[in-house]
Amino acid sequence: MVRKIATIISCAASIACISQASAQDKITTQTETIEGAIVGVTSDGSPKIQSAKGIAAVNKSQIVRIEMKEPAEVAKARQAAASGDSAGVVSALGAKAMQFIGLDVLWVKESVALLSDAYIASGKKAEAKALFEAVEKNYKGTPDEVQAQVGKARLAVEEKNYPAAEQILNPIIEKAKGQVLPPVSEHASVVAAFYAMGQLLEAQGKKNEAMECYAKIGSLYPASQAQVTQAASRMKSLRESSNAFVP
């Protein structure tokens, strides 16, 4: 019996160790794999990881892949966003998103998107602008930078600075129109640009042109289901309120 108990304890300890190891963050570079806990980001966007050797920054130019455990705050933020609780999103993600901004990690980027939407919805324009500027700085040359630019256009529409919004959105949309179909990695930013342009045109009283923008989201990017649904809702509202139609 004692031997059986010892065996059970030993197995449990082994499983715990395996579970703990598998829960570690991993950074794979061109020459090695570093395991530990990612604790932040340097000013140039390189991740800082705490391992058995201490805390060290890993040059982002050498990184092949980052594997990082999603914190519980992200799930809480998703639930809050789904229920329209902007304050809940900000409470869950305010510090977490900024701590890791710049990392090429899916949940980090999702957190930034959720947080920016929550800031705009709750009227925290200064915080939203600061977040967009941080994204532009840390994700240069990527679709995430374009997403941040679209976010700034949304802020400009909110502030009725329509020329500034047009100046941001027109080049993004013209580039997309010049492609048969933008790369999949650019779909989210292009869809966001079309939707923001629709909002801008609505604000300017150009209901039919806004309808055309919303319609393009469904016809060109049907896989972007959430955005297609959102655009369809706006089209329905415009038809019912002003008899708008797609030119």
Q: Does the pLDDT of residue 1 top 90, yes or no?
A: no
The predicted pLDDT at position 212 comes to 92
Q: How far is 221 from 18, CA to CA, in rounded Å?
A: 42
Residues 6+ apart with CB under 8 A from 79: 88
What is the edge-to-edge ordering of all strands in the sheet holding 63-67? 54-57, 47-51, 33-41, 25-29, 63-67
What is the β-pairing status of strands 25-29 and 63-67?
antiparallel
The DSSP line for 201-222 is: HHHTT-HHHHHHHHHHHHHH-T
Look at 62 and 245; give whichever has higher pLDDT.
Answer: 62
Q: Which domains does the chain have, with CATH numbers?
A: 12-67 (2.30.30.100), 70-124 (no CATH), 141-247 (1.25.40)
The predicted pLDDT at position 4 comes to 44
Choose among 137, 161, 158: nearest CA to 149.
137
The predicted pLDDT at position 12 comes to 44
**What angle in degrees, to the nearest 10, is found between the helix axes of 162-177 and 187-203?**
140
Look at 11 and 130; give whichever has higher pLDDT.
Answer: 130
Going by pLDDT thresholds of 50, 70 and 90, the confidence category of residue 178 is confident
Look at 233 and 19; give whichever has higher pLDDT.
Answer: 233
What's the mean pLDDT in 87-97? 89
Mean pLDDT score across all residues of the chain:
86
Bridge partners (DSSP) of residue 33 are: 28
pLDDT 10s digits, 101-122: 999 999 999 999 899 999 999 9
